[in-house]
Amino acid sequence: MAKPAREALQLQLHRNTATRLVEQVAAELGRLIDAGELRSGERLPSVRQLAHSHDIGASTVVEAYEQLVARGLLQARRGAGFFVAARATQGGARAVFTPHEPAIDSAWLLSQMFADDRVPIKAGAGWLPGKWLNDEGLHQAERRIIRSPGLQQVAYGHPFGYAPLRQLIAQFLGNWALELSIDQVLTTHGATQALDLVVRTMTQPGDTVMIDDPGYCNLIAMLRLAGLNVIGVPRIPGGVDTEALDALARQHRPKLFFTTSVLQNPTGTSYTPACAMRVLQAAERHGFWVVEDDIFRELGQATDPMLAALDGLQRVIYVGSFSKTIAPSLRVGFVACQPELARQIVHTKMILTLTNSEINERLVHNVLTEGHHRRHVQTLNATLLNAQSTLNARLAEVGLVPFTAPRGGMFTWATLEGSSLSAREIADRARQKGIWLAPGDFFRLNTPEQASFRFNVGFADVPELFDFFRTL
């Protein structure tokens, strides 16, 4: 039998604060439930009673109650009211799941790093600090979305993606002399899905592909999951070792070569014009496609070559994203390629995931057109270059050798020479000090001889990191 409703509750509400009354009511009720003052099965005051006793609107109480129902703290029973939900217990107390300490391995990097808050210093993170992103531009875009007609917010999008955004992408690529039509552009759920769609459309298990080495860790795992034979092409400060590329292509006859031309993850290096031309010549000579993963283009320099523009999308498939300059949570990427190939990739996308979120794509379009994005990127580029220069100098002071001179972008790749410890062992010790490092072997096909690390310039400039390396 349900317990009788309490006639009154004493909630601590403050009217002269920025926090909405709805949020305050929900928080206060949640506090009483967690403290055991409201017990499982107990009926809460009616909406009218609670509203009257605290001089607030009935709609405020309804919304607060519904929030707690959604969070599993309350149950709504038709005709009877709202009741405190039964809680899982163990030994008379509320059961609490205690997670294991994270193991610093590739599985944790891929599946847990975004959600794991137990390591406070994320020196190896793959995203920018929130304070460096264009939050005001995003908020303005969100307000425009809210004012848009409801049908635009609930309907399926177009298989190729939101047309105004695709047109804007075509114009953006035109800034690097890549002329293309809107039917050569399709949007994706981030650049990672774009790469996956290319893999699924153009390869079969057992095919051979080449990638940068070191290269993007998610891509390495993706290619292996697809059952492909993965060959690494050595990354150098000016791009890739084109002599090694030519020899490997002659020997293995790959279908695809995945590479990043600007500010590569993890090394932060960019192609020189000479390297770009030699890669395209090798692709023509040996008959492989080049997949240009170019998500850092806006953070690069105006003179950085674009393989897709030099090639005219004849043998290049171009992948881009907006997660690094707008917000990683939006998950909007795109592919640009030959029209017939674009149709094949869209067919693959529709089989696997149907259309993308048009709300997200409209948000990105609004951010790009509201007038502040270009200046935001300029400011961000200057911030990144300055942070990278400072970080490289401080890493050198504690025995780490940066792979290349500062060029801007998010990452610095540095090696601890002469250490008897592996990068994994060092990362394990760092975790015990509350520091998350990204060991170099996450990004390599084979275990490297020296201990290298990827550092994020937005998170790594902290005294604790340098103190830790001094102890080694």
Indicate the domain borders of the chain. Answer: 21-90, 106-133+375-471, 135-369
> Average pLDDT in the 435-450 region?
92
Q: Confidence class of residue 94 from pLDDT cuts 50, 70 and 90?
A: very low
- In this structure, what are the phi and psi dihedrals at residue 232, rounded to the nearest 5 degrees? -95, 135
Quick one: tokens of 40? 């499982």
Q: What is the mean pLDDT of residues 317-331?
A: 91
Q: According to the model, what pLDDT value does residue 264 have?
A: 97
100 pLDDT more than 60: no
Give residue 294's identity as a one-letter amino acid code: D
**What tokens appear for 314 in the block?**
């004849």
CATH architecture of 135-369: 3-Layer(aba) Sandwich (3.40)
Cα separation, 455 vs 124, whole angstroms: 5
Euclidean distance between CA atoms 403 and 386, whole angstroms: 17
- Evaluate whether 228 touches 198 at the Cβ level (below 8 Å): no
- pLDDT for 406 equals 92
Phi/psi at 122 (5° precision)? -95, 65
Q: Which of 302, 299, 283, 449 is nearest to 383 (CA)?
A: 299
pTM for the model stands at 0.79
| pLDDT tens digits along 273-284 | 999 999 999 999
Residue 218 has which token pair? 């998610």
Phi, psi of 150, rounded to the nearest 5 degrees: -60, -35
For 277-303, write each residue's pLDDT tens digit.
Answer: 999 999 999 999 999 999 999 999 999
Structure tokens given for 247:
């020899």
pLDDT of residue 189: 95
Side chain identity at residue 50, one-letter code: L
Query: For 433, phi and psi rounded to 5 degrees?
Result: -100, 10
Given a cut of 60, whether residue 109 has pLDDT beyond it is no
Average pLDDT of the chain to the nearest whole number: 89
Task: State the alpha helices, DSSP H only, in 35-102.
Answer: 47-54, 58-70
Concatenated DSSP letters for 76-89?
EETTTEEEEPP--E
Alpha-carbon gap, residue 62 to 219, rounded angstroms = 47
Task: Enumerate residues 6+ apart whose C-beta is below 8 A from 206.
Answer: 227, 228, 229
pLDDT for 88 equals: 45
Q: Which pair of tokens denotes residue 78?
A: 């038709």
Angle, CA of 114, 119 and 123, to the nearest 5°: 80
Asked if the domains at 21-90 and 135-369 fall in one CATH topology, the answer is no
* Dist. CA 338–CA 184, nearest whole Å: 6
Check whether the bond before 339 is cis (ω within 30° of 0). Answer: no
Q: Evaluate whether 250 touches 286 at the Cβ level (below 8 Å).
A: yes
Residue 155: per-residue pLDDT: 67
CA 220, CA 23: separation in Å to the nearest integer? 44
Better-scored residue on pLDDT, 66 or 272: 272
Query: Can you give the pLDDT at residue 5?
Result: 61
Distance CA 455, CA 170 (A): 33
**Regarding beta strands 400-402 and 438-439, do their DSSP bridges make them parallel or antiparallel, or are they unpaired?**
unpaired
**pLDDT score, position 151:** 53
Question: 21-90: what fold?
Answer: Arc Repressor Mutant, subunit A (1.10.10)
pLDDT average, residue stretch 443-455: 93
Average pLDDT over residues 377-403: 96
Any idea which fold 106-133+375-471 has?
A: Aspartate Aminotransferase, domain 1 (3.90.1150)
> Is residue 399 scored above 80 in pLDDT?
yes
Residue type, 421: L
Band (pLDDT 50/70/90 cuts) for residue 93 is very low
For helices 463-471 and 373-397, the axis angle rounded to 10 degrees is: 30
- Judged against a pLDDT cut of 50, whether residue 110 lies above it is answered with no
| Distance between CA atoms of residues 184 and 204, nearest Å | 24
94/137 Cα distance (integer angstroms): 43
pLDDT one-digit tens code per residue, 115-161:
556 678 999 999 999 889 877 777 787 777 767 665 555 667 899 99
Neighbour tally for 187: CB within 10 Å: 30
What digits encode the pLDDT tens for the residues 400-437?
A: 999 999 999 999 999 998 889 999 999 989 988 999 99
Binning pLDDT at 50, 70 and 90, where does residue 85 land? Answer: very high
Alpha-helical (H) ranges within 134-272 are: 135-146, 150-154, 163-174, 190-202, 217-225, 242-252
Residue range 381-397: average pLDDT? 97
Q: How far apart are CA 379 and CA 290, in angstroms?
A: 32
